[in-house]
């Protein structure tokens, strides 16, 4: 009988399954089981998964005039598998990265040694839109600013893990990690049979514990809440999920009120004190007294209560200065500077055009590089050399030379692939990985993370808005 993986061609990329199956017997067993699957049976199960996600409301909602249409994040039921050894490196790498991020944020809001020592150019920090002067001199419990971190990691042709981006503000997606596992156990138990996979179910407990650790120290049994922008937010399902997993109320801005610099929630028994807030609201919306005065999602007086130590907020305000593209380029140096260690997870090779050698290299190799503007400009002004015309490259060259400090450049990375159900076949599709870490006193990393997959053939874009889906991520014991 023809196996499902017999004609599978991974192309010039690293394959998460086949390249690991070569040297890991458990991965080989998974590949063999997959290959023996009846394609029709696979499709039947995929259809069940889709219906379950929809019926359970594991969805984001698109609101129109008088209706609410639910959409699911497409789910591919072929898991992405990480060996124990691969995970060990990833876990240590994420811990190191989070430690460096927290040390960096503490420093830029206190002594600014790293700026004075010239390791990171001061203007990149002080003139960054996400730098919050309100944070200067403020001490946060355990020096933790980034309580929940999602580090986006890709894998190159050689199988090496590289960090693409740090998400230190309000990273999302962790609910899919847990829900995907629940779904897999229900519809694909025979694939996992006898294979020891690290569980993911304790995320809510760990998050609740970290939030209790950062609450004001004199409080015995701190009241933790999750602050959500409400049912119209596209991540509302995740907010619900996390509130349930933690066993804490999901509150909206109007449920909270600040009196005498203390935060309370409105309950049927009157006002009840709140000690620790996991907020899924951007800095800008948190407190109309301090940030956007037109915000109705936040709570007036919240930042004052926080500054006085009467309530904890996770993640802290002002972490956006550390996950900016401009700072990303300096992360290897930031890790060395604070931790005196070599980075365990490398960055994608990045050339800082604000430095002479970086600029020279970039100008000489424009047709091979992806050049991105730093700071606030996001996707604007980015050029992908291999896809650009000669004229576009020359126009860009002038732009780059006019303001080199505004750019970084990186080589094109051929993201690793993973077998994915396409029609009735398994075909290679590009994937990335977002592990999630939780930090109160110490850092804990959820085994695995969110694997996003670009479902369109050849696409390197894993974002859900552009045809991305997700997979269950297995970390083998």
What residues make contact with another protein under the rule CB under 8 A? 54-57, 66-68, 70, 231, 236, 240, 243-244, 249-252, 254-255, 259, 264-272
Kindly tell me which of 16 and 252 has the beta carbon lying closer to another protein: 252
Q: How far, in Å, are 16, 32, 44 from residue 427 at the CA level?
A: 12, 15, 18
**Under a CB-based contact definition with an 8 Å cutoff, are residues 307 and 318 in contact?**
no
Kindly tell me which of 251 and 417 has the beta carbon lying closer to another protein: 251
**Under a CB-based contact definition with an 8 Å cutoff, are residues 302 and 287 in contact?**
yes
Kindly tell me which of 254 and 377 has the beta carbon lying closer to another protein: 254
* Least distance between another protein and beta carbon 170 (Å): 18
Q: How far apart are CA 177 and CA 162, in angstroms?
A: 21
Kindly tell me which of 267 and 466 has the beta carbon lying closer to another protein: 267
To the nearest 10 degrees (0 to 180), the angle between helices 174-187 and 236-246 is: 80
Kindly tell me which of 27 and 184 has the beta carbon lying closer to another protein: 184
**Under a CB-based contact definition with an 8 Å cutoff, are residues 52 and 75 in contact?**
no
How much helix, strand and coil, in percent to the nearest 5, is found in the chain?
A: 35, 25, 40
* Least distance between another protein and beta carbon 62 (Å): 14
- Lookup result for tokens 């020096």: 143
β-strands 250-251, 224-227: how paired? Answer: parallel
* Least distance between another protein and beta carbon 58 (Å): 10
* Least distance between another protein and beta carbon 276 (Å): 15
| Number of Cβ within a 10 Å radius of residue 94 | 25
* Least distance between another protein and beta carbon 297 (Å): 14
H or E stretch at 225: strand 224-227
* Least distance between another protein and beta carbon 67 (Å): 7
* Least distance between another protein and beta carbon 434 (Å): 24
Kindly tell me which of 74 and 230 has the beta carbon lying closer to another protein: 230
H or E stretch at 29: helix 25-35
Kindly tell me which of 203 and 328 has the beta carbon lying closer to another protein: 203
H or E stretch at 270: strand 270-273
């Amino acid at each position: 009988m023809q196996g499902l993986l017999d004609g599978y061609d991974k192309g010039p990329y690293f394959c998460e399954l086949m390249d690991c199956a070569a040297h890991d017997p458990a991965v080989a067993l998974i590949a063999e089981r997959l290959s023996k699957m009846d394609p029709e049976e696979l499709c039947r199960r995929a259809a069940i998964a889709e219906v379950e996600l929809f019926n359970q409301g594991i969805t984001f909602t698109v609101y129109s005039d008088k209706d609410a249409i639910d959409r699911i994040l497409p789910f591919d039921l072929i898991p992405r598998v990480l060996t124990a050894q691969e995970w060990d490196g990833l876990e240590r790498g994420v811990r190191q990265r989070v430690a460096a991020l927290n040390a960096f944020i503490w420093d830029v809001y206190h002594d600014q040694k790293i700026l004075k020592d010239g390791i990171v150019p001061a203007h990149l920090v002080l003139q960054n839109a996400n730098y919050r002067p309100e944070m200067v001199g403020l001490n946060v419990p355990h020096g933790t600013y980034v309580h929940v971190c999602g580090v986006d990691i890709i894998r190159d042709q050689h199988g090496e893990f590289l960090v693409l981006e740090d998400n230190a503000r309000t990273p999302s997606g962790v609910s899919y990690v847990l829900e995907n596992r629940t779904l897999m156990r229900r519809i694909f138990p025979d694939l996992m049979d006898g294979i020891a996979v690290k569980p993911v179910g304790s995320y809510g407990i760990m998050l609740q514990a970290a939030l209790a650790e950062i609450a004001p120290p004199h409080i015995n049994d701190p009241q933790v809440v999750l602050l959500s922008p409400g049912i119209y937010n596209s991540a509302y399902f995740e907010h619900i999920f996390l509130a349930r997993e933690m066993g804490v109320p999901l509150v909206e801005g109007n449920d909270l009120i600040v009196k005498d610099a203390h935060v309370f929630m409105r309950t049927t028994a009157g006002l009840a004190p709140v000690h620790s807030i996991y907020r899924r609201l951007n800095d800008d919306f948190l407190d109309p007294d301090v940030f956007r005065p037109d915000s109705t999602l936040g709570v007036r007086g919240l930042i004052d209560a926080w500054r006085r130590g009467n309530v904890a907020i996770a993640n802290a305000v002002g972490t956006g200065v550390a996950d900016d593209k401009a700072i990303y380029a300096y992360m290897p140096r930031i890790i060395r500077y604070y931790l005196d260690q070599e980075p365990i997870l490398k960055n994608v090779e990045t050339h800082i055009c604000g430095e002479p050698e970086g600029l020279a290299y970039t100008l000489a190799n424009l047709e091979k590089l992806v050049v991105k503007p730093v700071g606030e400009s996001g996707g604007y002004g980015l050029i992908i050399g291999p896809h650009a015309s000669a004229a576009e490259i020359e126009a860009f060259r002038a732009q780059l030379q006019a303001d080199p400090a505004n750019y970084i450049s990186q080589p094109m990375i051929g993201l690793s692939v993973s077998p994915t159900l396409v029609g009735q076949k398994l075909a290679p599709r590009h994937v990335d990985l977002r592990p999630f870490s939780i930090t109160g006193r110490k850092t804990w990393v959820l085994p695995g993370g969110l694997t996003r997959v670009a479902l369109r053939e050849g696409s390197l874009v894993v974002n859900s808005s552009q045809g991305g889906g997700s997979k269950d991520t297995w970390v083998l014991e």
